[in-house]
Amino acid sequence: MALQLYVGNKNYSSWSMRPWVLMKQAGIPFEEVMVRFDSFEADSAFKKTLRTVNPLGKVPALVDDGFAVWDTLAIAEYLAERYPASALWPRDLKARARARSVCAEMHSGFTALRNHCPMNIEASLPEVGRLVWRDQAAVRADIARLGGLWGELLAAQPDGALLFGDFSIADAYFAPVCMRIKTYGLPLPADLLSYVERVCALPGVKAWIDDALAEHDFVAFDEPYRLGR
């Protein structure tokens, strides 16, 4: 039985994007189960569907022959153990520890960037980005930290490489951040913007973007800056 991955709207669901891109880019076969956002209320169709596989009623959720795994880090670790030949984490001990560290930091941090710049792949909102950048010191601090983190990792790699050389869980984890940077036109040095473009050009990431652009959904509660498309 193929793995099943439950995801939300691809235009908006940054958490869903991580394991989907990871599996797609690594060539791990799976069946996508799309559960579109209608509401996050307890009695919503979204919550009712997700609670059949995840007691929290959230995406993403991975189901392997009836066994459910939720939370993006748990899913990533499960896949890394289930498919060791795919080298989803770096093979070097210290690089692997560093990759886990930066993924954990992304998992629990960068809250200002998340809150003020929600993922919205279809939208182009540079004017919103300029206002956020002007008014939200915490967003500027998040981007400064992101620049330092990416800059340090990429400086240890040859030109044109990803964060740990070859594609890894870390790149999948930061893919939604790349989407935010593009949507809101947030400022980064040229070498880091080049990394953003390399991530967007990965086949797994491009496939997610293409699907997001084809959705044509407008979820009002995920659109703090627009009244329509």
For 147-181, what is each residue's pLDDT tens digit?
999 999 999 999 999 999 999 999 999 999 999 99
Q: Which two tokens stand for residue 162?
A: 């990803």
Q: Are 198 and 160 in contact (CB under 8 A)?
A: yes
| Residue 148 DSSP symbol | H
Whether the per-residue pLDDT at 1 is higher than 70: the answer is no
- Quick one: average pLDDT of 204-217? 97
Task: Identify the CATH class of 93-211.
Answer: mainly alpha
Give, in words, the CATH class of 3-86+215-221. alpha beta
Domain ranges of the chain: 3-86+215-221, 93-211
Task: Give the Cα separation of 34 and 30 in Å (integer).
Answer: 12
Rg (CA), the chain: 17
Query: From the centroid of its chain, how far is CA 128?
Result: 21
